[in-house]
């Protein structure tokens, strides 16, 4: 069985990625299951029992910025070891709601943790491992803020200022510019139908 592929969905809170995640999984299953591949859907922080425990802490408890980044990568190491790497070795495809780009965007861009510290953690935890494809849902921060205000009670990240999300968005776009072969950017101001037409093209190209 050929090694599977790893696809991630990224974007600031309110960008709309969650709206399309299950739909994309269904389209991906229809594409790859006839070839004998299974699709494993997961998320970060989370994806394992330990990761889900850390998720509750990370999204709701105040803490030092470096502690926050270290816990994000601790959850990621467990996620890689227990879920992502075994699935890919089995030939499964993995679809994750966020991965390391989110840490660079939120803890780096948003919170201002120096990039060299994140890069050191990235090398330690992942080596050279990166997603095969990252779908980045991009939207102006004002639009994202309106969407968040209409959603559930916010966690500590969703409660951040528009300036925080401007910095977070900028770091996402910097990462995409740095690795254009990996990123597919979706204009998330478009209608759901228009976005899904674009995502259909992504699935067909895999």
How does pLDDT run along the chain (206 residues), one tens digit per residue? 688 999 999 999 888 898 899 999 999 999 999 988 999 999 999 999 999 999 999 999 999 999 999 999 999 999 999 999 999 999 999 999 999 999 999 999 999 999 999 999 999 999 999 999 999 999 998 887 877 776 666 778 777 888 999 999 999 999 999 999 999 999 999 999 999 999 999 998 88
The answer to whether 97 is a known ligand-binding residue is no
CB atoms within 10 A of CB 13: 21
Task: With CA atoms as reference, report the closest residue to 70 among 109, 120, 127.
Answer: 120
Q: Is 46 left (phi over 0), alpha (psi -120 to 50) or beta?
A: left
On whether the pTM is more than 0.95, the answer is no
What ranges do the domains of the chain cover? Answer: 6-205
The answer to whether 16 is a known ligand-binding residue is yes
Distances (CA, A) of 105 to 11, 28, 50, 131, 199: 9, 26, 23, 16, 23
The answer to whether 110 is a known ligand-binding residue is no
The answer to whether 64 is a known ligand-binding residue is no
3-class secondary structure, 39: strand
Q: If you ran DSSP here, which 8-state letter would residue 110 be given?
A: I
Q: What is the CATH number of domain 6-205?
A: 3.40.50.300
Contacts of 130 (CB under 8 A, 6+ apart): 100, 179, 182
CB-based burial of residue 66 (10 Å sphere; 0-12 exposed, 13-18 middle, 19+ buried)? middle
Task: With CA atoms as reference, report the closest residue to 43 among 79, 67, 11, 12.
Answer: 79
Q: Are 41 and 128 in contact (CB under 8 A)?
A: no
The answer to whether 185 is a known ligand-binding residue is no
Burial 43-58 (b: 16+ CB within 10 A, else e): bbbbbbeebeebbeeb
The answer to whether 17 is a known ligand-binding residue is yes
């Amino acid at each position: 069985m050929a090694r599977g592929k790893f696809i991630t969905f990224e974007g600031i809170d309110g960008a709309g990625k969650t709206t399309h995640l299950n739909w994309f999984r269904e389209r991906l299953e229809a594409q790859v299951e006839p070839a004998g591949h299974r699709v494993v859907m997961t998320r970060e922080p989370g994806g394992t029992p330990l990761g889900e425990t850390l998720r509750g802490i990370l999204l709701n408890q105040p803490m030092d910025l470096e502690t926050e980044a270290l816990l994000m990568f601790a959850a990621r190491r467990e996620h890689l070891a227990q879920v992502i790497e075994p699935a890919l070795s089995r030939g499964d495809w993995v679809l994750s709601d966020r991965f390391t780009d989110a840490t660079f965007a939120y803890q780096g861009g948003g919170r201002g943790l120096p990039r060299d510290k994140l890069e050191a953690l990235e090398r330690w935890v992942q080596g050279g491992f990166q997603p095969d494809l990252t779908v980045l849902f991009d939207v102006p921060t004002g639009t994202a803020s309106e969407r968040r205000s209409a959603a559930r009670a916010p966690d500590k990240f969703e409660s951040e200022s528009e300036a925080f999300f401007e910095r977070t968005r900028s770091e996402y776009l910097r990462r995409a510019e740095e690795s254009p072969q990996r990123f597919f950017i979706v204009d998330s101001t478009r209608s759901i139908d228009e976005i899904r037409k674009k995502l259909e093209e992504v699935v067909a190209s895999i």
